[in-house]
Structure 1
Amino acid sequence: MKINKSYTGIIVALTVIGCWLTLLYSLLTWNFVWTNPLVYLLILVQMHLYTGLFITAHDAMHGTISSNKTVNNILGYISVFLYAGFFYNTLLTKHHKHHSHVHTEEDPDYANHGFWRWYLSFMMNYVTVIQLIIMAVAFNVLKIWVNQENLLLFWVLPSLMSTFQLFYFGTYLPHKGEHDNEYHSSTLQKNHFIAFITCYFFGYHLEHHQKPGMPWWQLYKTKS
């Protein structure tokens, strides 16, 4: 059966959300042992799926999940809230400011610092008190049913690791230093496997700025 192209973005978004939810449920209910190497592999897989949630929300910010604005924004809201209690509208405003004022003082993603100072500046710019309260309440509610070790290892840790993945490959590497193009962005060498596992092709960052309307799962096509 041929899939209507207008629904492909929705299917991709729901697949990412579904994989994240399925693996998270399995991990939170898993009676694991620390000596099992699969534990550490699955932490990395869950980290990657967390990154996928944020990338899905990012696609929504560019209107590439669905031509139906309501559907597009609902999936954006769901993805970014599941990621870490973020509010979609706030991130939407800041992200488009990044595209409009890239590499300037008005760019909320840019800081002319080394990695750690830039990362902290980046996080402080996006994390809010309300978001922290939401996550704290969620953690304490989940503790009623879920072992705290599972929560910390498979819910909290992959989310935090994902922030490094997103920042390093999606912001720091592409925008550090000076560049000779209008988007002040660099790009990974062409390697679709590495580009996917590092940040859902957003290492092809110059190409993203050149074609912001290209969804993550088609971004590799822009790489010459």
Structure 2
Amino acid sequence: MNSNKALYKHIDPTGTIISILLIFLWFISLYFLLDWNISYTMPLVYIAILWQTHLYTGLFITAHDAMHGSVSKNKTINAFIGWITSLLFAFNFYDRLLKKHHEHHRFVATEEDPDYHESGNLSLWYWEFIKKYVTVKQLILMTLSLQLLRLIFPLENLILFWILPGILSTFQLFYFGTYIPHKGGHDKHKNKHNSGSLKKNHILAFISCYFFGYHYEHHDSPGTPWWRLWQIK
């Protein structure tokens, strides 16, 4: 019996199930929103934009968890979900993100950290962040996809619920997952991870960035998936 429990724990499918559900929720939500007859006087339109932004952020967080091997113990499944969620997030390529993200963990908040900007200036840091992660290949693929999708769905809906939420989520990820935790520097003798952390509030932490505002905790336990990160705060 104990050996069976140990085996089940080793192949615990929870991370994979959560990832698949998030992808499915993003896809179904987007599909219905793209075919929605909208009116700018409807408050639900703006709520839907924020909802899609949050789901977009969830796609990237899932890709991020795959980079730490915490989506699945099966390396093939883990990498596959990482690739899928990366591509759904504006045609990012998983192998490129993987390299840069591990550089971030290795050289956090130093000159060699690709996510860090020593100026601490929000707009300048965000601009440099975007330049490092957005490629010409992505822009071409997004443009081609937009031209194809507009043959099926209204352009207005595509911009509101596909393009805009993707842009907003990049700022959400940057602000709560990079800028706030790493701005201002940290005393290396007292803070070995050069990372700050949000005050304990699990509701706000989830809404803001899937608990990644608990950033010191993430750097201290990078293999902990987003949906368990609140437990080690």
TM-score (norm 1): 0.97
Per the alignment, residue 48 of structure 2 pairs with 42
CA distance in 2, matches of 1:96, 1:23: 32
CA distance in 1, matches of 2:134, 2:38: 31
Q: Which of the residues 164, 178, 198 maps onto 1:171?
A: 178
Query: Where does the alignment leave 5 or more consecutive residues of structure 2 unmatched?
Result: 1-7
CA distance in 1, matches of 2:168, 2:154: 20
Per the alignment, residue 19 of structure 2 pairs with 13
- Residue 3 of structure 1 deviates from its aligned partner by 10
Q: Percent identity?
A: 56
1:217 aligns with 2:227: yes
- Residue 205 of structure 1 deviates from its aligned partner by 0.1
Per-residue CA deviations over 1:187-215 (Å, capped at 9, x if unaligned) read: 00000000000000000000000000000
Written as runs of structure 1 = structure 2, the 5 A alignment for 1:44-193 is 44-113=50-119, 114-180=121-187, 181-193=191-203
Whichever residue aligns with residue 127 of structure 2, its letter is L
- Residue 112 of structure 1 deviates from its aligned partner by 1.4
- Residue 5 of structure 1 deviates from its aligned partner by 6.2
Runs of 4+ in 1 over 3 A off after TM superposition: 2-5
Q: Give the match's secondary structure for 1:219.
A: helix
Whichever residue aligns with residue 189 of structure 1, its letter is K
Choose 1 or 2 for highest CA Rg: 2
Whichever residue aligns with residue 183 of structure 1, its letter is H
Q: Give the match's secondary structure for 1:81.
A: helix
- Residue 179 of structure 1 deviates from its aligned partner by 1.1
1:202 aligns with 2:212: yes
Whichever residue aligns with residue 55 of structure 1, its letter is I
CA distance in 2, matches of 1:119, 1:5: 39
CA distance in 2, matches of 1:189, 1:105: 27
CA distance in 1, matches of 2:9, 2:194: 37
RMSD (Å) for aligned C-alpha atoms: 1.3
Whichever residue aligns with residue 51 of structure 1, its letter is T
Q: 1:103 to 1:3 in 2, by over 3 A?
A: closer
Q: Is the 2:11–2:73 contact (alpha carbons within 8 Å) kept by the matching residues of 1?
A: no
CA distance in 2, matches of 1:204, 1:19: 25
CA distance in 2, matches of 1:154, 1:171: 25
Query: Where does the alignment leave 5 or more consecutive residues of structure 1 unmatched?
Result: none
CA distance in 1, matches of 2:42, 2:193: 45
- Residue 4 of structure 1 deviates from its aligned partner by 8.8
Whichever residue aligns with residue 52 of structure 2, its letter is Q
Q: 1:126 to 1:66 in 2, by over 3 A?
A: same
Whichever residue aligns with residue 187 of structure 1, its letter is S
Q: 1:129 to 1:41 in 2, by over 3 A?
A: same
Whichever residue aligns with residue 83 of structure 1, its letter is F
CA distance in 1, matches of 2:27, 2:11: 25
Per-residue CA deviations over 1:80-129 (Å, capped at 9, x if unaligned) read: 10011000000000000000000111100001120000000001011111
TM-score (norm 2): 0.93
Whichever residue aligns with residue 162 of structure 1, its letter is S
Q: Give the match's secondary structure for 2:223.
A: coil
